[in-house]
Structure 1
Amino acid sequence: MHKKVAVILSGCGVFDGAELHESVIALLRLDQRGAQVQCFAPNIAQLHVINHLTGEEMPETRNVLVESARIARGNIKDVREAKAEDFDALIVPGGFGAAKNLSDFAINGANCSVQPDVLALAQAFAAAGKPVGLICIAPALAARIYGEGVICTIGNDEGTAAALEQMGASHEECVVSEVVEDAQRKLVTTPAYMLAQSIGEAAAGINKLVDRVLELASHA
C-alpha cells in the first residue's frame, strides 16, 4: 500500500523560503518510492524577500503559500487544511524559510517559536507516533515539536548546534551523506545544505532520510 506523506514548504528560494534542491530531491525520492504526496505551506507573509542574485533585501512582500506553489506546480494547500490522521509521515525541507517563515529561529535563535499552524500539525504527527523527517536547518523546529531530549542533527555547525541544545534538543554531529534517527520519537534528520557542497552531496543524505521515513511508516 502506498504511503501518504505530507510535505511542508516554506516559500521558494534558499535565502527566504524553501531550498529548491532539497525540496525537489525529497519530492523526487518520494515519487520514486511510490509515495502519495501532498504539499502544504502556511498562508502567511514571508519575513522578507531576498534578491537571490545579489543577496540584498527587496522592498516587496510575498506570500509563503503562493511562493511554495511554484515548487509544488500549484498542487499545494494551506497547512491549516492538513490533518495528521490523513497521512503516514511528514517531511520538512530546509532553506532559510524554515528559520524565517515556519519559525523565527533566524531572528530569535534558542528563544524562537514555531508558526502556530505548522507547530500544531507537526505535534499531531509526533503525538500519533508517525515518522517525521526534518532536513537541513528544519531540525531547529525539533525541540519545539518534541520537547526536551529530542535527538537531531544539523551537521556540525557549533553555533547552530549550541542553540538547538539550549532549546532542549540533543544534537549529534553527522556527515552530509548520513542521517540521525531518534528511534523513540521516529524523527529522522540530515544536514543537506548545512554541509553539502553540491546537489549530489545533498541528495545522498536526503534520499536516505526519505527511505528511512517511509520504512518507519511501513512498520507503524
Structure 2
Amino acid sequence: MRRVSETEIRCLLAAPFSEEKITLLMLQSKSGCILFPSINCIFVVNQENEIMKKFAVVLAGCGVYDGAEIHEATLAMLAIKQSGNDYQCFAPDMEQYHVINHLTGEVMNEKRNVLVEAARIARGSIMPLSQFDADSFDVLFFPGGFGAAKNLSTVAFDGPKATVQPDVEKAVKAMFNQKKPIGAMCISPAFIAKILGDVNVTIGNDEGTAQVIEAFGGTHIQTEHGDVVCDHEKKVFTTPCYMLDASIADIWDGAYNIVESILASFEPKDTAEE
C-alpha cells in the first residue's frame, strides 16, 4: 500500500469526490488512513481528521552560497509536518553553477550535482524534478538560497534577462494551470515572477532584486520578517526570510506563516483568511 494526497486520490477515483463523502470517510478512519485496496493506496488524514496536503519541496542544492538555504528548507519542512501534512523533496538533476567554500566564500575548483547535494538535506529521500507530476501534489514549494538564483534560474547573473531551468519552469506552469498554490521563500520569488509575469511577490526590501521582479512584469511588495504576500488570484505565496538580515528564529516565523497561509487557501472562501 502507498500513501497518496487528496489530489491524487481524486485523480485515481476519476470521479467527483464530494466533501460530504470525504467527511464520512474521515470520521470512519481510526488510524489516520483510509484504505482503498482496489487501487492499492492509502488516503491519509492528519490527527485533526483533515485531508493531508502533499507539498513538493524543490531544493536548489545544499548550502546558502551555491545551493538551497538549509535553515529555510529545514524549517519549511518542519512547518509542513507540524501542520499535519506531508512533503516530497525534488531537485533538478544537473551540475550546479559552481561550488563555494562556505568557510571562506571562495569558489572551489570542483563540480557537484544539484540533486546529489540536495539529497543531503532530504536525507536521501528525493526525486529528480523531471519526474514531478502536478496531478500528485497539492502545493509546489521553493525554499531560497543562492542556488535558486544560480541553479534554478540565472537571476544572480543575468538580472532582467534571466532564464529559468526548464524543469522548474515546467513544474511552476503545471501547478499554475491547475490553480494550485505555489510557495516561495527568500530569492525564489524572483524566478516565479519571471515565469508568471503579472504576480504580486516579496523578497523583503532589496531594491535591486525588486527592480528585476518589476522588469519581469511582477509587482514587488516590501515586507518585514514573518510577513507573507498572498496573491490569491495567482495562488502564489511569498516571504522574504534571508533576503533580510535574519536570525534562525526569524526564518521559523516566515516558514510557519507561509505554510499556514497556503493551507488557509484551501479553506472555503467564506472562512479563509484574506
Name the TM-score class by shorter chain. Answer: over 0.9
Give matches, 1:27-106, under 5 Å. Answer: 27-106=77-156
Give matches, 1:162-177, under 5 Å. Answer: 162-177=211-226
Counterpart Cα distance in 2 of 1:196 and 1:22 = 14
**Residue matched to 1:201:** 250
Task: Quickly say closer, same or farther: Cα 1:219–1:70, change in 2 above 3 A.
Answer: farther
With CA pairs under 8 Å and 6+ residues apart, which has the higher RCO, 1 or 2? 1
Deviations 1:110-146 (A, max 9, x none): 1101100111011100111000110000001122221
1:6–1:37: 8 Å Cα contact kept in structure 2?
Answer: yes
Give matches, 1:133-148, under 5 Å. Answer: 133-147=183-197
Counterpart Cα distance in 1 of 2:75 and 2:224 = 18
Q: Which amino acid aligns with 1:61?
A: K
Q: Which amino acid aligns with 2:219?
A: S
Counterpart Cα distance in 2 of 1:57 and 1:196 = 23
Matched residue SS, 1:181: strand
Deviations 1:126-183 (A, max 9, x none): 1110001100000011222212x21000000111101110111100001112111111
Q: CA deviation at 1:197?
A: 2.1
Counterpart Cα distance in 2 of 1:179 and 1:3 = 20
Stretch of structure 1 that moved more, 167-176 or 194-203: 194-203
1:43–1:65: 8 Å Cα contact kept in structure 2?
Answer: yes
1:3–1:217: 8 Å Cα contact kept in structure 2?
Answer: no
Counterpart Cα distance in 1 of 2:222 and 2:123 = 35
Q: Which amino acid aligns with 2:238?
A: T
**Residue matched to 2:36:** none
Counterpart Cα distance in 2 of 1:97 and 1:168 = 23
Deviations 1:158-211 (A, max 9, x none): 111011101111000011121111110111100000014200011111210011
Stretch of structure 1 that moved more, 59-68 or 177-186: 177-186
Task: Quickly say closer, same or farther: Cα 1:77–1:218, change in 2 above 3 A.
Answer: farther
Matched residue SS, 2:222: coil
Matched residue SS, 2:225: coil
Q: CA deviation at 1:52?
A: 0.1
Compute the TM-score of the two structures, normalised by the length of structure 2. Answer: 0.78
Matched residue SS, 2:265: helix
Compute the TM-score of the two structures, normalised by the length of structure 1. Answer: 0.97
Which residue of the other structure, out of 50, 58, 71, is the alignment partner of 1:21? 71
Aligned-residue CA RMSD (Å): 1.1
Q: CA deviation at 1:218?
A: 4.7
Structure 2 residue 166 is matched with structure 1 residue 110: no
Stretch of structure 1 that moved more, 171-180 or 15-24: 171-180
Task: Quickly say closer, same or farther: Cα 1:219–1:90, change in 2 above 3 A.
Answer: farther
**Residue matched to 1:181:** 230
Which 4+ residue blocks in structure 1 deviate beyond 6 angstroms?
Answer: none
Counterpart Cα distance in 1 of 2:135 and 2:195 = 17
1:130–1:217: 8 Å Cα contact kept in structure 2?
Answer: no
**Residue matched to 2:264:** 215
Counterpart Cα distance in 2 of 1:194 and 1:176 = 10
Mark the structure with the bigger radius of gyration.
Answer: 2
Unmatched segments (≥5 aa) in structure 1: none
Q: CA deviation at 1:219?
A: 4.9
**Residue matched to 2:13:** none
Aligned positions, number = 219
